[in-house]
Structure 1
Amino acid sequence: MKSKIGILILLMCCQVCLGQILTRKSLHGRVVNDSIAIENGLVFNVNAKTGSIIDQKGYFSILVKAKDTLVFSSLGFKSKKIVLTEKDISSSFFRVNLQAIARQLIEVVVHAKKGSPPEFGNTQSIVDTQYYDDALSSPENPLMMPTGTGDNGIDCIRVYNMVFKNLKKTNPNKTDFVSDMGFTSIAMKSVSYSFFTNTLKLDDDEIGLFLLFCENDPKSKTFVSTSKQFDIMDFLITKNEEFKNITTFEK
């Protein structure tokens, strides 16, 4: 009896997966920025509960259908949600533009590829200072790259610095903390977007940094050859506690 139930569940899962494939088609595209090349990143299909890696040149491919919501994110850039239309999925090539969060943050990521993320001094004093626009303030120029002096730019710089400082401390001989995406690729196939946002309580802009934090734990390499979903979920939950301890600070 148990074997029959098991077979029935397996058939139902196969039917759901087959339905996903039959109703969705591959969307090919590239994630870009007006000023900087985007290297590596993540794209989630929230509706299909699937994800894919954005490669080192910004290209991606993911199964979609009309009205699916895609979430794009990359280190140092503001994440973006897009609800797809029939026109989007019928296009031969889909282009997505992400805005850099702050110039200094891009520098942090670039230096992290060399194993030496820069420090920008005590940014907490800037975080604690409130600035308000007035009639004489200079208007924001949307064509200029953000400097990190507004919104949550400085907060992000500080968080990135804290994470990379921890990675450097725990991996003193490592020279590149960014390029390896082996575990990230496995995790994207094992858990859904909602697991990151609802279970782990991560913001869209934090998911990439969190997975990079996990990627640089030697234990993550054990999942590349043996990807067990429950073990990966348990690992992510444990690492999330560490991540929150590092990135949480009083404002």
Structure 2
Amino acid sequence: MKYYLLLFLFVTTFTLCMGQNTSKIKGVVVNAADGSFLESVNIVNLNQVIGTTTNNEGEFQISAKANDTLHFSYLGFKSIKVRVTNDWIKFGDSKIELTELALALEEVVVNQLRLTGYLEVDIKQVPIINNNYRYSISGLPNTGYEATSPGAVSKVLGSIFNPADFLHRMFGKKPNELRKLKKMKQDDEIRNLLASRFDREMLTVLLNVDRVDLDEIVSQCNYSKGFIQTANDLQILDAISECYEEFKLLSKSRSNRL
């Protein structure tokens, strides 16, 4: 009886260790319609916050442990989440099928200028283009918070606590998401994937927020609508991270003065 008890404890401990240890898992991603290999599919381990892409034969390899969730996304195909199982870790290979989406053209609204012939009237119809400036955002040569006038910098410094407080309210109940911000900035593969994307899908999945909430966070952090509409996902990530780091720095300085 004692022998069986020890054997049971050994098997249980071994199973738990297998579930907790991180392993390299392999797989191949194919088109569900015809079985053809899909190259350059974006794959992110949402738990470990690491990423990779498939090669020209649809193959990939990524670190994971049991119950981790992998997110697969590819342009023109429906994104999916796949749970890592013990069988996958044990046998080391799996085939992932992605379903192609129907292509659809987005509605384009064209605003026609109705000229009157009077310069003073017509010039008011021309959209105003503002010069934006920024600090430490990937892919942008300039530095500084966005500003459309020389006095905007002081306004930003005066209101920095409000946007950062908003950011903290968004993630205050989700400490894991705040830790993910740091992990995403450290993983080169994740940063490369985000730099090539403009759809915010990977960011919303990684941070566990809605697209509307994500845009609101960036907006509350004093970034312009033009930046939000044109920035790639990596620039949005850096903007959010910079806003929160600035908040912590200013909060620490304020506490020291008190």
User: Structure 2 length as normaliser, TM-score?
Assistant: 0.37
